[in-house]
């Protein structure tokens, strides 16, 4: 299906049958991306009495019991409930379907032993508050990101002022290919999370952060239509499947 719409008085169109999947899934083979020393996802066949949920073992159908950590195993989308005492659910925060997003690519700065995404790396963003989402791809960007275990490696992170800038620009949804917007071990400060979600001064109940995406180099920088698909979990985070759609003038 070809859909057309106006954005900033410019007519765009996109094909709903040609999505670009930028998610990293919860894998059963133990090879998926991982962080914060979380266990790898565990898939077990459900058993009850003589029933076994595994066709290969004689069952009538496959029924998996899956144990995993959304924040540590693959692409996930989180809300303000991730850092507050109030247990807000991601399903309460993410109301939108399709939204306008801009993809940018940065090379984090080496500052001591840290790789930091600083404000000077961020190109000026649409200033009329009509852009709803920003997608940040970091370099290097090889396929090893798809299976990387980031635990204990102090991966790249955002300087808090960058997320404050995104907030000031009206960006409600941030997507990035790193395990966390904050430093792996920052003593629990979570300053970048707090800046984006407006905690504690001006909490944003409808903002989300999506971490551990993977944007292939074949996907060019620029504007896209974005659809963040989540599972209906009553939790602060859910595994997610962000889809991009190329726009045509």
Within a 13 Å sphere around the CA of 10, how many CA atoms are in the beta-carbon half?
10
Q: Which residue, 93, 69, 77, 73, is CA-closest to 175?
A: 77
Could you read off the pLDDT of 196-213 as tens digits, one per residue?
999 999 999 999 999 999
Q: Which residue, 174, 244, 163, 164, is CA-closest to 210?
A: 174
What is the number of other CB atoms lying within 10 angstroms of the CB of residue 91? 15
List of domains in the chain: 2-26+71-246 (3.50.30.50)
Q: Which residue, 209, 183, 214, is CA-closest to 70?
A: 209
Q: Which residue, 113, 184, 175, is CA-closest to 138?
A: 175
Whether the per-residue pLDDT at 157 is higher than 70: the answer is yes
| Cβ-based neighbours of 112, under 8 Å, separated by 6 or more | none
Q: In this predicted structure, what is the pLDDT of residue 8? A: 83
Q: Could you tell me the pLDDT band of residue 124, with boundaries at 50, 70 and 90?
A: confident
Write phi, then psi, for 105 (nearest 5 degrees): -125, 135
Could you read off the pLDDT of 165-192 as tens digits, one per residue?
999 999 999 999 999 999 999 999 999 9
DSSP code of 34? B
| Cα dist from 237 to 71, 79, 83, 208, whole Å | 7, 7, 11, 9
pTM over 0.85: yes
Write phi, then psi, for 38 (nearest 5 degrees): -75, 155
């Amino acid at each position: 299906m070809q859909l057309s719409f106006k954005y900033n008085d410019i007519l765009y169109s996109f094909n709903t049958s040609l999505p670009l999947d930028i998610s990293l899934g919860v894998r059963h083979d133990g090879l998926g991306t991982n962080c914060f020393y979380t266990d790898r996802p565990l898939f077990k066949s459900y058993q009850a009495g003589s029933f076994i949920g595994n066709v290969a073992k004689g069952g009538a159908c496959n029924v998996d019991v899956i144990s995993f950590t959304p924040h540590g195993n693959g692409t996930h989308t989180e809300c303000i409930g991730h850092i507050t005492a109030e247990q807000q659910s991601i399903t309460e925060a993410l109301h939108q379907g399709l939204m306008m997003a801009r993809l940018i690519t940065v090379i984090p700065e080496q500052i001591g032993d840290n790789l930091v995404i600083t404000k000077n790396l961020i190109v000026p963003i649409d200033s009329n508050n009509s852009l709803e989402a920003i997608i940040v791809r970091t370099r290097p960007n090889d396929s090893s990101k798809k299976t990387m275990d980031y635990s204990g490696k102090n991966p790249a992170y955002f300087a808090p002022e960058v997320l404050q800038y995104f907030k000031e620009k009206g960006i409600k949804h941030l997507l990035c290919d790193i395990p966390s917007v904050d430093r792996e071990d920052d003593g629990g400060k979570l300053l970048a999370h707090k800046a984006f979600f407006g905690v504690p001064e001006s909490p944003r109940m409808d903002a989300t952060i999506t971490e551990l995406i993977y944007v292939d180099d074949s996907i060019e920088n620029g504007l896209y239509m974005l659809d963040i698909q989540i599972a209906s979990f009553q939790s602060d985070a859910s595994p997610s499947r962000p889809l991009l759609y190329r726009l045509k003038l």
